[in-house]
């Protein structure tokens, strides 16, 4: 019996080691397949093809020919422009105003006349300590815009509210003795154009427009016409009747 025990133990040990080696080999094969490297070829190859997304391009190269690398080394940095997004840096104090789904309007530094849009998709949960800012990720409404390239800087505005207000171009609102005024166009009198000076209160300002409130009025006539240019000239003529 003793003579049979030792060979049986050796057999069990050999079977266990064989199973462990099979598991290690299967793991290595899986890693090779994930990396797109050749598997099961005889004889062993010394070169292999690294595959990347079809439309990706090489942004930077971190290795040189003949250099030894480890599995954790980054060889190249690739950029796939098929799914571009816009990433904003928002000050900490403005983060409570942000919500997923809000509209983003942005322009490029070299083309401020063309406005592009995106949608807030993700708001960062951590504040960058040095600048006290938060990253905001937005999905572009038009991803195949040829003018957009990875790494570009943009000037962006996030629409935090969508309420309708009465607004006029900034030059239409004049400041006089601590008050704000606009000039509403009245029916012509004697063939001359007539404007009435109305006191208002300026609200929010954005993109060259000012929200205006008329004190004591329940609402404003949205069909009324106002002087959008030359408001200060009208103010000067009103305060100096002697001027032509």
- Both tokens assigned to 104: 């983003």
Q: What is the DSSP letter of 139?
A: E
For the chain, domains (ranges, CATH) are 82-159 (2.40.30.170), 167-239 (no CATH)
pLDDT digits over 101-118, tens only?
Answer: 999 999 988 877 788 999
* Angle at CA of residue 216, ends 210 and 218, nearest 5°: 80
Phi and psi at 33, nearest 5°, equal -65, -40
209-221 b/e (C-beta count within 10 Å ≥ 16 → b): ebbbebeeeeeee
pLDDT in tens, the chain (244 residues): 455 667 777 888 888 898 999 999 888 888 877 776 777 766 566 677 777 767 778 888 998 988 888 878 888 888 877 778 899 999 999 999 899 999 999 998 887 778 899 999 999 989 988 889 999 999 999 888 888 888 889 989 888 877 777 888 888 888 888 888 888 888 776 667 788 888 888 887 777 788 888 765 545 566 778 887 777 787 777 776 555 5
- Both tokens assigned to 217: 């009025």
Measured in Å, how far apart are the chain's first and last C-alpha atoms? 129
Cβ atoms 225, 166 nearer than 8 A: no
- Both tokens assigned to 2: 């003793």
- Both tokens assigned to 24: 């290690």
Bridge-based pairing of strands 133-140 and 85-91 is antiparallel
Q: What is the DSSP letter of 217?
A: -
Cα gap 61→173, rounded to integer Å: 56
């Amino acid at each position: 019996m003793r003579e049979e025990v030792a060979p049986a133990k050796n057999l069990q040990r050999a079977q266990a080691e064989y199973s462990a080696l099979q598991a290690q080999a299967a793991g290595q094969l899986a890693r090779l397949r994930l990396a797109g490297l050749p598997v099961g070829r005889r004889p062993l190859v010394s070169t292999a093809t690294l595959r990347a997304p079809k439309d990706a391009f090489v942004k930077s190269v971190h290795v040189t020919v003949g250099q030894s690398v480890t599995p954790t080394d980054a060889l190249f940095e690739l950029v796939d422009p098929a799914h571009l997004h816009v990433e904003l840096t928002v000050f900490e104090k403005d983060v409570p105003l942000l919500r997923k789904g809000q509209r983003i309007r942005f322009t490029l530094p070299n083309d401020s006349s063309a406005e592009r849009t995106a949608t807030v998709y993700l708001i960062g949960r951590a504040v960058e300590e040095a600048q006290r800012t938060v990253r905001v990720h937005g999905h572009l409404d038009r991803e195949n815009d040829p003018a957009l390239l990875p790494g570009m800087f943009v000037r962006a505005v996030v629409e935090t509210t969508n309420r309708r207000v009465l607004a006029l171009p900034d030059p239409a609102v004049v400041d006089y003795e601590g008050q704000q005024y606009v000039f509403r166009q009245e029916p012509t009198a004697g063939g001359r154009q007539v404007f009435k000076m109305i006191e208002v209160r300026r609200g929010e300002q954005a993109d060259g427009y000012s929200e205006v409130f008329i004190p004591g009025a329940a609402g404003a006539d949205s069909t009324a016409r106002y002087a959008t240019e030359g408001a200060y000239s009208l103010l000067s003529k009103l305060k100096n009747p002697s001027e032509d």
